[in-house]
């Protein structure tokens, strides 16, 4: 039995920890005794929620506890620890404090008589604003990278039956994850595998071949393929280069929205004794490779990392565990600051600038949790596992 008197415990409250001998039977007996003595089971994330409510940690730190538990790579875990230690929060707080200083300056100036407004330029409002914008952009870039580390990216392999989608998945995963056969239409369901490239999780979905079909089961598979394409960050459009004429239209292009990031993959170059290569034009990248021999796979891996905008510095500095929620708040704050910049373009519209700065500050404060609605708290903590 371990006793942690508040406020120096995880939650800030008095905490009693009971340790029992291993095995579910004894632990269940212990739990039952506690419950009959008047205790109740904790809600998911309740300990961390209490730590947050008792000001032991802020919201970003609370969320990074969940991120540490979920981390699928060493790098993601390290980033989450960064955030738990308060590095991300410190960045946000520094931005908020710069904003507050600038807002005070502007509010004080609002009451100036007209003729003194000319002196505003000497107050360097625009310079100060630009400085905050630059800091915010840097933080946003770090948060985007952290989000990639945490969530990874989703890649869909799409193409007609038999072009080599399952073989390419196997080649990327380096194990036999999907059945490879010579009968068209074998992969009727979607199969997902996750690989780690440069520390980032890449979720690769192998799909049913796309073609017009009367087969109901295959039709279902195709519907699932289209749904997977919708959710994907990147689509690899596979063609069999031994069958396909370079000038011929790609029969599956119609299934993939034009604005979806995509790479054309000419597979089976071994059948044409071709060397692997990558071709870029304004609208499209294509890679010539062989899923069978592995030639060109490395080009593909590099291209994927490049498209994901992935620049992981292995010290992990300036990269923060970030959830979608954080990215949205940072982006919103950035939009308000850009508005504020526009209001300085011709003459300074001080009231409007002040209002945009206030809105930017509110957006940033939702990240660390100074202004966070209860329903959002419920949403955040419900994703924790029980006992954390």
Q: Which residues are annotated as a binding site for GTP?
A: 162-167, 181-187, 206-209
CA distance 157 to 51: 44
Instruction: Tell me the number of residues near Zn ion by CB under 5 A.
Output: 3
CA distance 299 to 34: 59
Q: Does 225 bind Zn ion (CB under 5 A)?
A: no
Token pair for 143: 């948060």
* Among positions 58, 151, 270, 356, the unique one binding ligand GDP when judged by CB under 6 A: 270
Query: Applying CB under 6 A, which part among 115-123, 210-218, 253-261, 263-271 lies near ligand GDP?
Result: 263-271
Annotated binding site for K(+): 162, 181, 183, 186
Residue 166 or 290 with smaller CB distance to Zn ion: 166
Token pair for 28: 């269940």
Packed helices 59-70 and 87-110: angle between N→C axes, nearest 10 degrees: 150
Q: What are the Cα distances from residue 335, in Å, to 169, 298, 331?
A: 40, 38, 6
Residue with tokens 């192998």: 206
Closest residue by Cα to residue 353 from 180, 160, 128, 200: 128
CA–centroid distance for 247 within its chain: 37
Least Å from the CB of residue 168 to ligand GDP? 7
Q: Does 114 bind ligand GDP (CB under 6 A)?
A: no
Q: Does 167 bind ligand GDP (CB under 6 A)?
A: yes
Token pair for 270: 């071994």
Residue 192 or 362 with smaller CB distance to ligand GDP: 192
Query: Applying CB under 5 A, which part among 114-122, 187-195, 220-228, 372-380 lies near Zn ion?
Result: 187-195
Residue 60 or 172 with smaller CB distance to Zn ion: 172
CA distance 365 to 144: 18
Query: Applying CB under 5 A, which part among 150-158, 182-190, 290-298, 317-325 lies near Zn ion?
Result: 182-190
* Helix (H/G/I), strand (E/B), else coil: 264: strand
Least Å from the CB of residue 245 to ligand GDP? 18
Residues found near ligand GDP in the complex (CB under 6 A): 159, 161-167, 180-182, 186-187, 209, 267-268, 270-271, 290-292
Residues found near Zn ion in the complex (CB under 5 A): 165-166, 187
């Amino acid at each position: 039995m371990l006793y942690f008197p508040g406020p120096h415990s995880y939650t800030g409250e008095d905490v009693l920890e009971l340790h029992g001998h291993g095995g579910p039977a004894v632990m269940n007996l212990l739990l039952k005794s506690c419950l009959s003595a008047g205790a109740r089971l904790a809600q998911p994330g309740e300990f961390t929620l209490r730590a947050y409510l008792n000001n032991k940690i802020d919201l970003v730190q609370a969320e990074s506890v969940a991120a540490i538990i979920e981390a699928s790579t060493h790098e993601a875990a390290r980033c989450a620890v960064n955030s738990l230690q308060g590095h991300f929060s410190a960045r946000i707080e520094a931005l908020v404090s710069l904003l507050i200083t600038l807002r005070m300056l502007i509010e004080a100036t609002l009451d100036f008589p007209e003729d003194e407004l000319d002196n505003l330029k000497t107050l360097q409002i625009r310079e100060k604003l630009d400085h905050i914008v630059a800091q915010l952009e840097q933080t946003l870039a770090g948060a985007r990278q952290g989000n990639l580390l945490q969530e990874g990216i989703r890649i869909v392999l799409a193409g007609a039956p038999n072009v080599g989608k399952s073989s390419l998945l196997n080649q990327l995963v380096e194990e036999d994850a999907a059945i490879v056969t010579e009968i068209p239409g074998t992969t009727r369901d979607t199969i997902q595998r996750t690989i780690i490239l440069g520390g980032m999780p890449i979720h690769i979905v192998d799909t049913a071949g796309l073609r017009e079909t009367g087969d109901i089961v295959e039709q279902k598979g195709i519907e699932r393929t289209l749904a997977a394409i919708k959710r994907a960050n990147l689509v690899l459009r596979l063609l069999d280069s031994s069958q396909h004429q370079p000038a011929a239209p790609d029969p599956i292009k119609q299934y993939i929205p034009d604005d979806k990031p995509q790479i054309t993959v000419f597979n089976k170059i071994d059948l044409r004794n071709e060397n692997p290569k990558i071709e870029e034009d304004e609208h499209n990248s294509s890679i010539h490779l062989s899923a069978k021999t592995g030639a060109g796979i490395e080009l593909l891996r590099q291209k994927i990392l490049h498209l994901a905008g992935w620049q992981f510095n292995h010290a992990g500095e300036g990269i923060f565990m970030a959830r979608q929620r954080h990215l949205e708040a940072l982006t919103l704050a950035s939009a308000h600051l850009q508005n504020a910049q526009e209001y300085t373009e011709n003459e300074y519209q001080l009231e409007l600038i002040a209002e945009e700065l206030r809105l930017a500050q509110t957006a940033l404060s939702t990240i660390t949790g100074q202004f966070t609605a209860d329903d959002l708290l419920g949403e955040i903590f419900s994703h924790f596992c029980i006992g954390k």
